[in-house]
A and B are shown apart, each in its own frame.
Chain A
């Protein structure tokens, strides 16, 4: 038996419509969008356009030309930070951030471009808004926070942080890598100036997709200049969106699959997806709580917002358990720091990290039962000692 419990890294399986859409594009009409006017190019351009429209609807963007495609969320965040921050800007971020935020910001700090403040979180990963308030300086230009954690099942109060930033006239960036496609996000209502997302996690698309949603009054300088299919007579890159931030042929294969993923989510309904996640996560937490050798991290039963469960044990390091689960039982998890060293420091699980289980929309109770039984067997028989 094989059980995939690493949906926080990338979701699997994908809906069959995602696979079919990719196959259809490659088999039947693989033209380059926006580069010609012929039938295949036009059909490909329509797919890219419709995907932008769907994402604009999902995030309530000001307009769909403010939805920019990138190759992943890391790429999106780099474009956003490096295209908007200027020398002397002060940036505030949190301990819950992924390296996709921390590393580009640390780089800009080391280059002497920005001043960086990383505010503490409590043991449950929550940010104290008073600490955020007291961190504001006259030159604070941007606050950047993750929406949903990739270590434990919490989500930060983006609407409260957004309102606070708006009241201080400070830009707010949200990293929605774990939540786009799972939790409702409204960039207008939540006062998010820049939102970055990935397509291959909760949006159920293939890897190599992601993007940025930019509010209408925000301008981001482009890092990459080149072909856009528009203004071809000009030797300089266009300054209108989306072309401004999308030099080069887009990942049409991936975007075609992403469109099918978003349509799947719209068809199922967000609430059904959330309900399934809560049921499976609580069912799993109930089973895990019976295993005394495991310490559970995170909010716990009924309080997990995202389907992410982290455990540790005093008996064995997380990687040993992950290895036995994979090699002997076919159960795929993630162990270690998950690109979030600061988050693990906040939670008290640095440097070993945790063992993370992340179910997805297609995870069944049977999968969870098998995983719990396997865990009990491994611990009872001390199978981790021989791995």
Chain B
């Protein structure tokens, strides 16, 4: 599974993560959180782990003290 979904505590943190990841030049989508994922808020970030390095992404979010969870994206 290359498609991944990141969930966050709140909409604020989704948008903060978006700002940080765009600044880092990463490509991703903001999507409504898939129903099969137990989520903290209504929006999530979807990305392709073949395009974005997972450890780089995690490091960026951790550095900014943003809590998140990563799931496989299943349609």
Contacts and interface: CB of A to CB of B under 8 A. Distances in A.
Interface stretch (A32-40, A219-227, A255-263, A297-305): A32-40
Interface in A43-58: 45-46, 48-49, 52-53
Given A33-B11, A240-B10, A65 B41 contact: no
Contacts of A48: 12
Contacts of A243: 9-10, 12
A330 interface: no
A37 B9 contact: no
B15 interface: yes
Interface stretch (A18-26, A228-236, A370-378): A228-236
B43 A230 contact: no
Contacts of B13: 65
Contacts of A238: 9-10
B7 to A, nearest CB: 10
Nearest to B43: A37
Residue from the set A45, A46, A63 with the largest chain B CB neighbour count within 10 Å = A45
A36 B33 CA distance: 10
A93 interface: no
Contact of A49 (B9, B11, B64, B65): B11
B62 to A, nearest CB: 13
A306 B16 CA distance: 35
A64 B12 CA distance: 9
Contacts of A41: 42
B12 A65 contact: yes
A42 B30 contact: yes
Interface in B33-70: 33, 38, 40-43, 64-65, 67
Interface in A64-86: 64-65
Interface string B1-26: 00000000111110110010000000
Nearest to B33: A37
Contacts of A233: 38
B: contact size bracket: 20 to 34
Interface residues of A, number: 25
A103 B9 CA distance: 35
B41 A34 contact: yes
A42 B32 CA distance: 10
Given A63-B64, A240-B67, A34 B12 contact: yes
Contacts of A63: 64-65
Contacts of B9: 230-231, 238, 240, 243
Listed residue (A33, A34, A41) with the most chain B CB atoms within 10 angstroms of its CB? A34
B65 A229 contact: no
Given A35-B42, A37-B42, A37-B43, A242 B12 contact: yes
A67 B29 CA distance: 26
Given A33-B11, A37-B33, A228-B10, 7 more contacts: A34-B10, A34-B41, A37-B43, A52-B12, A233-B38, A238-B9, A242-B10
| Shortest beta-carbon contacts, A-B, top 3 | A37-B32, A34-B11, A49-B15
Interface of B: 9-13, 15-16, 19, 30-33, 38, 40-43, 64-65, 67
Interface of A: 33-37, 41-42, 45-46, 48-49, 52-53, 63-65, 228-231, 233, 238, 240, 242-243
27 contacts: A34-B10, A34-B11, A34-B42, A35-B42, A36-B42, A37-B33, A42-B43, A45-B11, A45-B43, A48-B12, A49-B11, A49-B12, A49-B15, A49-B16, A53-B19, A63-B64, A64-B16, A65-B16, A229-B11, A230-B9, A230-B10, A230-B40, A231-B40, A238-B9, A240-B9, A242-B10, A243-B12
